[in-house]
Structures are given as structure tokens and as C-alpha cells.
Amino acid sequence: MQKKPTYEELEQRVKESEKEAIRRKKAEEALRKNEKRLKALLAELAAKNEELDSIVYRVSHDLKSPIVTIDGFVGALREDFGDVLSEDGEKYLRYISDAARKIELLIKDLLDLSRIDRLTQKKREFPFARLVKDALEALQLQIKARGIVVNIQEDLPVIYGEKRRLARVLDNLLINAIKYIGKENPSPRIDVGVEEQDGQKVFFVRDNGIGIEKKDFDKIFQVFQRLSSAKKQVGEGTGIGLTIVKRIIEHHHGGKIWLVSEPGKGSTFYFTLKKRGLEHGL
């Protein structure tokens, strides 16, 4: 049988539970305060992000007109003084034009990056195969010119998402696969398909091109990051393509993107998409 608590013991227990109640109240208050502070910080961050975004947009937009001026005057110089220009003079004009092209490309890409979050489209269901075919059609000339064999898996599923943005994902991945297929690749090949991994549909774009070292896997998704191996390939780039792809997959579709690659063997870029009905909170 249990011993009945004495009066002192009961009093002690009451005191302890009062102390516990005060402790709990204080902890709750501290939590509430932290929550408030966090919310304020998040709001500040969102505002700063928006501001930065609109600066990028404005600056890139405003830089377009000086480029037009540069091009115009390079053209005028050639036209009016072309006969008297020495070989060196003509070479310098070419350097100016090339630099202007580079700035133009950079502006286009920066505008693209800042636009990615602007034009939201309603999500809907559509066949993944359609997306692949449309993207490949637009890239046909480049694929032919490099003699690349493209293999599209049959029976591709219907997917759920924003068609325009997902077209962009595929476009960027395919352009990379083509661009980095390797100048001396004896049998250039690209595969597009889907496979099941841990009960989830995983889409992929695979190439047998120059490949990427493991240490660079994270780096290539960061803005303006191009590997030295890429700079030796034909075709230019700003290092924005994969930043856009990652943003679309993760931020706009709640999916994941990663790669498996080995230098000299090729790369496979994988991505997942959230199923319809599971995309809340995006």
C-alpha cells in the first residue's frame, strides 16, 4: 500500500507544479517572440529579394540601348571609313563587336533569370513525350550538325506542371547535352527517358559527352559557373542555364534535380516532379 503524502509533501508538490507552470509560460513567450522575429526577418528577406530582382531586371533592360548604340556606330565606322581602315583598325572593330555580343548574351540570360519567377502559368497535365519532341525539333539542326543519335524512351508518362517552364528545363538540359557532347566523340548519343527509383518517377537526360568531375556537381548549378572543360567546347555560355533549371524544378515544382557523371564518359541529369495534389505549399 502506498503511504499517504504528508501535508508538507503536498505543499511541496503544489509549489513545484506552480514553478513548472511559470517555466512553461516563459518558454512559450520566448517561443512566440522568436516566431515573431523570424516572421519579420522572412518578410524583410522577401522584400530585399524582390528589390534585387527588380534592380537586375531594370539594369539589364536599360543596358540594351547602349548596346544598340555601340552596334550602330561600329556599323557606321565600317560604312563611312571602311576604305581607310587598316587591317588593325578592322580587327579592333571586330573586338568591339564581339564584346558587345557577349554583353548582349549576358543581358539576355540575366533577364531570363529574373523573368523565371514572373510569368506563372497554371499547372496542368500533359504528356512528357510532347515536351521532349518539341524541344528536340527546335534543336534539330544542331543535333544533325554534330551527328548525334537521339533516343527517346517509349511510353513516357503524363506529367503535371507548368508547361512553359518545364519546356525550358528540357531545352536547357538538351542544349547542354549537345554543347558538351565532345568534339571528338566517335558515337555521340543522347537518351531521354524515365525510370523508377524508390517508387518514384525520375526523368533523365543522358549524354555520352565530356562529363563532369564529382567535385563540381554542386558548383554547376550556381549562377555564372562554367567549368574549364566547357570553355574548350564549341558554343558560348553564361553559366545561367542550370541555375534556371534548378529553380524551376525545386522552387516551382517541388521536385529535385541531381546528376551522375564521370569525366570522359558522359553525364545524366535526373529530376523529379511532385504528383498532382501533392504540390501544396509551393
Ligand X SMILES: Nc1ncnc2c1ncn2[C@@H]1O[C@H](COP(=O)(O)OP(=O)(O)OP(=O)(O)O)[C@@H](O)[C@H]1O
Q: 3 vs 231, which CB is nearer to ligand X?
A: 231
Check binding of 148 to ligand X (CB under 6 A): no
Angle at 133 between CA 130 and CA 138, to 5 degrees: 130
Check binding of 226 to ligand X (CB under 6 A): yes
Residue of this chain nearest to ligand X (CB atom): 241
CB 44, min distance to ligand X, A = 29
Check binding of 174 to ligand X (CB under 6 A): no
Check binding of 273 to ligand X (CB under 6 A): no
Which of 266, 126, 165 is CA-nearest to residue 208? 266
Check binding of 241 to Mg ion (CB under 5 A): yes
Instruction: Fill in the amino acid letter for 49.
Output: N
CB 267, min distance to Mg ion, A = 12
CA dist 249 → 161, 163, 169 (Å): 10, 12, 8
Tell me how many residues contact ligand X (CB under 6 A).
Answer: 24
Check binding of 240 to ligand X (CB under 6 A): yes
Crossing angle for the helix pair 87-115 and 7-81, to the nearest 10 degrees? 150
Check binding of 227 to ligand X (CB under 6 A): yes
- How many whole angstroms separate alpha carbon 22 and alpha carbon 28? 10
CB 175, min distance to Mg ion, A = 6
- How many whole angstroms separate alpha carbon 133 and alpha carbon 127? 10
Choosing among ligand X, Mg ion, none, which partner's interface includes residue 240 (Cβ < 5 to 8 Å by kind)? Answer: ligand X
3-state percent helix, strand, coil for the chain, nearest multiple of 5: 55, 15, 30
Interface with Mg ion (CB under 5 A): 176, 241
